[in-house]
Amino acid sequence: MKPLEFSLNGERVVAEGVDPTETLLSFLRRRGMTGTKEGCAEGECGACAVVLREDDGAGGSRYVTINSCLLRSEEHTSELQSHSFISYAVF
């Protein structure tokens, strides 16, 4: 599997050797970002929510909340590589 490259809290991340079934939640917590929690592990409670920044096509940004417990690297490699993630979001 190709290395995943994305921005995390403004810092470029190159993740090699990531288990394709590992969730974004697990990846963040392994990096010491323990503010994002696992609650229900089904995407219902929001404890695992992180913010995804996308380009809006007009030179600005659009922010979307995603459940990191549901996002696996094998399923979303292209999505991970074209976005920025912001952990520790406050809602």
What's the CA gap between 61 and 15, in Å, rounded?
Answer: 24
**Helix/strand/coil percent split, the chain, to 5:** 15, 30, 55
What's the CA gap between 15 and 77, in Å, rounded?
Answer: 11
Instruction: Tell me the pLDDT tens digit for each residue of 8-64.
Output: 888 888 888 888 888 889 988 988 888 888 999 888 898 998 888 877 889 888 888
Assessment of whether the complete model's pTM goes beyond 0.75: no
The more confident residue out of 81 and 42 is 42
CA-based torsion, 56, 59, 5, 53: positive or negative: negative
What's the CA gap between 91 and 80, in Å, rounded?
Answer: 22
Write down the pLDDT at residue 80. 52
Q: Strand 4-8 to strand 84-86: parallel, antiparallel, or no bridges (unpaired)? A: parallel
pLDDT beyond 80 at 66: yes
